[in-house]
Amino acid sequence: MKELTSARWIKVKGILFLVLGLLAAGLLVLEQPTGKTVFLLAAAIWCFCRFYYFAFYVIEKYVDPGYRFSGLGSFAGYLWRTRRGK
């Protein structure tokens, strides 16, 4: 797959992720409109965001500054390789 380099299309992609996420979250809350559903959905979103931050920023800046990740698959491969090496 060709690398996405156009700033315009990168922004469009980000906006699409936001719209789809809001749509999915909204549909879940509409299907089960309780405080518990909203809380659990917010907690899941927050935790996934923190994991993403961990996978790309914390590992790169504090654990292995020489490694550059290109996606979550790359991160999984990195974890697998470093675990097998020990």
Q: What are phi and psi of 22, to 5 degrees?
A: -65, -40
**CA dist., res. 54 & res. 57, Å (int):** 6
Q: What is the pLDDT of residue 76?
A: 87
The answer to whether residue 1 scores a pLDDT higher than 80 is no
What is the average pLDDT value for the chain, to the nearest integer?
89
**CA dist., res. 12 & res. 55, Å (int):** 24
Q: What is the mean pLDDT of residues 7-25?
A: 95
Q: What percent of the chain has pLDDT over 90?
A: 51
The answer to whether residue 86 scores a pLDDT higher than 60 is no
59 near 69, Cβ under 8 Å? yes
Q: What is the mean pLDDT of residues 23-41?
A: 96
Of 71 and 23, the one with more pLDDT: 23
Tens digits of residue pLDDT in 34-60: 999 999 999 999 999 999 888 888 888
**CA dist., res. 18 & res. 13, Å (int):** 9
C-alpha angle 86/84/61, rounded to 5°? Answer: 75
